[in-house]
A and B are shown apart, each in its own frame.
Chain A
Amino acid sequence: MPAFGLRAMSLLELRRVSKHFGAIEALSGIDLDIAAGEIVGLMGDNGAGKSTLVKIMAGNFPPSDGEIRLEGEKAHFHGPADARAAGIEVVYQDLALCDNLTASANIFLAREARRPFAGVLRLLDNLRMHQRARELFTELKSETRPGDLVRRMSGGQRQAVAIARTRLAKARIILMDEPTAAISVRQVAEVLDLLRRLRDQGIALLLISHRMPDVFAVADRVIVLRRGRKVADKPIGGSSPEEVTGLITGAIEAA
């Protein structure tokens, strides 16, 4: 069990969150806390409810029951825009990047910087966007260049672009869906470094991953879902890959 009183105040709390789709119970009675500067690994088999949980936190749909709290205040998300406005950003597994655009264009997509032109027009301010993108990449210690097309980038650089986008939005909580799934082993280390850097800057991170080594490498805490229920929520030091595997498959009932 988590050590009550020792943990920093939670940024995001889920209380008894359930989600039904007709007769199907996708999630039942989930309690979850994430504090600033904490990486929480969320694990579970396919169909365990991970993506449903993420979608609830991202405002894609409301919970059937239970509540979401942000810094102790009850939050109501009527759509992804509400969650984003509250500082929750999702980095999707497929990264949701446009291959044909530059890194900086992707980072600023749908929130382009503009400058006045000829009195009435407002044009793209590419210079300002490039500068800001460069700052973000420097912050993330990534070698990605703002003017490069995403098409020509490595998996690690793409992750950096997707993460830089959440930084631009000043996200406080980042939900990462399988950030290390689609990239080469060498680049995994690069991405894990990125996650650590975000944590050091006080971001709360929820890392959804199938890759046990990655979760154990960066997470402070691990949460395991099985068939819509939370079966474990403990500091990473107090668990082991073997135990988590057992929890995921059901060989171990709960921990």
Chain B
Amino acid sequence: MAERALAALPEERRGSRLVARLLASQAFWVTLATLIIVVVMMAISDAFASYKNVFNTTRNFAFIGIMALGQVVVIITGGIDLAVGSVMGLSGIVFGMLMAAGHSLWLSAALGLLVALAAGAANGYLIAYLGLSPFVVTLGMLSVARSLALVVSNNQMVYQFGPDETLLFALGGGETFGISNPVWILVVLTLLFGFLLNFTVWGRHIYAVGGNPQAARLTGLAVERIKLSAYLLSALTAGIAAILTIGWLGSVTNALGLTYELRVIAASVIGGANLLGGEGTAYGALIGSALLEIIRNSLLLAGVDPYWQGTFIGLFIVLAVLLERIRGRRSA
């Protein structure tokens, strides 16, 4: 009966369908939660809405947000990339050492990103072409890339970056029109990823592969190549985040990006990426990482013992998945 009644709805009721679609979107609820926290915090704390705090908070989640964009693509295909933190470390070390050796920012960045892409290609090849489990492969890469970062750097810190040092520091630590540069890059990348996922054939196929890999294969999609592209993108975002983070911190150690994979995956999931595949958005990656950082910042400003941060963050992750389950039940 229900579906017949639904089918009988006139096409003109598009508006209400749009509202229904909005209400069914995880990103909408997470945006709402974020706004509520912001309003409450503005009432509680004068420091929260201060320019300096907004500047720092947005910059802080930019790095995670950029990596979450790549992660979301992987999660949509039904995979997971646990290696992003380590790939960020390895790529950052290579990039930093090249800069320190006197190479230009552009050459060092290109080679640093190439190293990240190589790690992504290894992940993608093993997962897509050999059919190994994404969890296990990227867990292996998490270990390998971190170890290679140690080998390459010989456990040395890099804090001098040669002739292009000021350019690097300006890129990662500077600002444009009062907003931190990494935030601009996050915004541009979010628009780019959103565009690719929504308006290109590639994006459509990313969702198809995650929705039903067998169906995708039967209809003749190059499932392997599509999956590979997802892991390449995830690694690339890790490399971009590495360069920006180094520019902001002004130094790089082989601990760069340590445990970031957890924050990146948490941000993706909170933003509505479904670990079962087939669902996720670029905007979700941005808002998910924003919510995580705003919670952290709010607790700090509210004077909550920092030891409690993990508890709150963890609760929000579970809450997000719970919310998704409730939405899923309603729409089923």
CB-based contact B208/A101 at 8 Å: yes
Give per-residue flags for B185-215: 1 if the beta carbon is below 8 A from chain A beta carbons, else 0: 0000000000000011101110110111011
Number of interface residues of A (CB under 8 A): 31
Task: Give the distance to chain B from A186, nearest Cβ to Cβ, in Å.
Answer: 10
Contacts of B3 in A (CB 8 A): 153-154, 157
CB-based contact B214/A96 at 8 Å: yes
Task: Give the distance to chain B from A143, nearest Cβ to Cβ, in Å.
Answer: 4
Give CA–CA (A109, B203) in the complex, Å: 12
Interface residues of A in 141-157 (CB under 8 A from B): 143-145, 147, 151-154, 157
Interface residues of A in 59-89 (CB under 8 A from B): 80-81, 84
Contacts of A117 in B (CB 8 A): 199
CB-based contact B212/A98 at 8 Å: yes
Would you call A94 an interface residue if the criterion is a C-beta within 8 Å of the partner chain's C-beta atoms?
yes
Task: Give the distance to chain A from B77, nearest Cβ to Cβ, in Å.
Answer: 12
Contacts of A154 in B (CB 8 A): 3
Interface residues of B in 208-231 (CB under 8 A from A): 208, 210-212, 214-216, 218-221
Interface residues of A in 80-116 (CB under 8 A from B): 80-81, 84, 92, 94-101, 105, 109-110, 112, 114
Number of A-B residue pairs at CB separation under 8 A? 73
Give per-residue flags for A114-144: 1 if the beta carbon is below 8 A from chain B beta carbons, else 0: 1001000111100000000000000000011
Residue in B204, B211, B214 whose beta carbon sits within 8 Å of that of A124 in the complex: B204
Contacts of A97 in B (CB 8 A): 212, 215
What's the dominant secondary structure at chain B's contact region?
Answer: helix
Contacts of B7 in A (CB 8 A): 143-145
Contacts of B200 in A (CB 8 A): 121, 123-124
Give CA–CA (A150, B11) in the complex, Å: 18
Task: Give the distance to chain A from B242, nearest Cβ to Cβ, in Å.
Answer: 29
Would you call B261 an interface residue if the criterion is a C-beta within 8 Å of the partner chain's C-beta atoms?
no
CB-based contact A98/B220 at 8 Å: no
Residue in A100, A124, A144 whose beta carbon sits within 8 Å of that of B201 in the complex: A124
What's the dominant secondary structure at chain A's contact region?
Answer: loop
CB-based contact A99/B212 at 8 Å: yes
CB-based contact B211/A99 at 8 Å: yes
CB-based contact B212/A96 at 8 Å: yes
CB-based contact A109/B214 at 8 Å: no
Task: Give the distance to chain A from B290, nearest Cβ to Cβ, in Å.
Answer: 25
Interface residues of B in 48-65 (CB under 8 A from A): none
Residue in A94, A96, A100, A143 whose beta carbon sits within 8 Å of that of B219 in the complex: A96
Known: A151-B331, A152-B331. A92 touches B211 (CB 8 A): no
CB-based contact B278/A98 at 8 Å: yes
Would you call B279 an interface residue if the criterion is a C-beta within 8 Å of the partner chain's C-beta atoms?
yes
Contacts of B17 in A (CB 8 A): 147
Task: Give the distance to chain A from B9, nearest Cβ to Cβ, in Å.
Answer: 9
Interface residues of B in 285-313 (CB under 8 A from A): none
Contacts of B332 in A (CB 8 A): 151-152
Contacts of B204 in A (CB 8 A): 101, 105, 109, 112, 124
Which one of A110, A123, A151 has the highest number of Cβ atoms from chain B below 10 Å of its Cβ? A110
CB-based contact B211/A101 at 8 Å: yes
Give CA–CA (A109, B212) in the complex, Å: 12
Task: Give the distance to chain B from A169, nearest Cβ to Cβ, in Å.
Answer: 10
Residue in A96, A98, A114 whose beta carbon sits within 8 Å of that of B207 in the complex: A98
CB-based contact A109/B221 at 8 Å: yes
CB-based contact A123/B199 at 8 Å: yes
Give CA–CA (A171, B145) in the complex, Å: 50
Known: A124-B204, A151-B331, A154-B3. A100 touches B211 (CB 8 A): yes
Give CA–CA (A63, B212) in the complex, Å: 29
Which one of B200, B207, B215, B220 has the highest number of Cβ atoms from chain A below 10 Å of its Cβ? B215
Contacts of B11 in A (CB 8 A): 145
Chain B residue, CB-CB nearest to A150: B211
Give CA–CA (A114, B201) in the complex, Å: 8
Chain A residue, CB-CB nearest to B76: A100
Which one of B7, B203, B210 has the highest number of Cβ atoms from chain A below 10 Å of its Cβ? B7
Chain B residue, CB-CB nearest to A109: B219
Could you pull out 26 A-B pairs where Cβ atoms are within 8 angstroms? Answer: A80-B220, A81-B220, A95-B215, A96-B215, A96-B218, A98-B212, A98-B278, A99-B211, A100-B278, A100-B279, A105-B204, A109-B204, A109-B208, A109-B221, A110-B205, A110-B220, A121-B200, A123-B200, A124-B200, A145-B11, A147-B17, A151-B332, A152-B331, A153-B3, A154-B3, A157-B3
Besides A94-B215, A100-B279, 10 new A-B residue pairs in contact (Cβ under 8 A), listed by A number: A80-B218, A80-B220, A98-B207, A98-B212, A100-B278, A105-B204, A109-B208, A109-B216, A110-B220, A110-B221
* B interface, CB within 8 angstroms of A: 3, 7, 11, 17, 199-201, 203-205, 207-208, 210-212, 214-216, 218-221, 278-279, 331-332
Closest 8 A/B residue pairs (Cβ): A98-B211, A100-B278, A100-B211, A96-B215, A110-B219, A143-B7, A96-B218, A98-B212
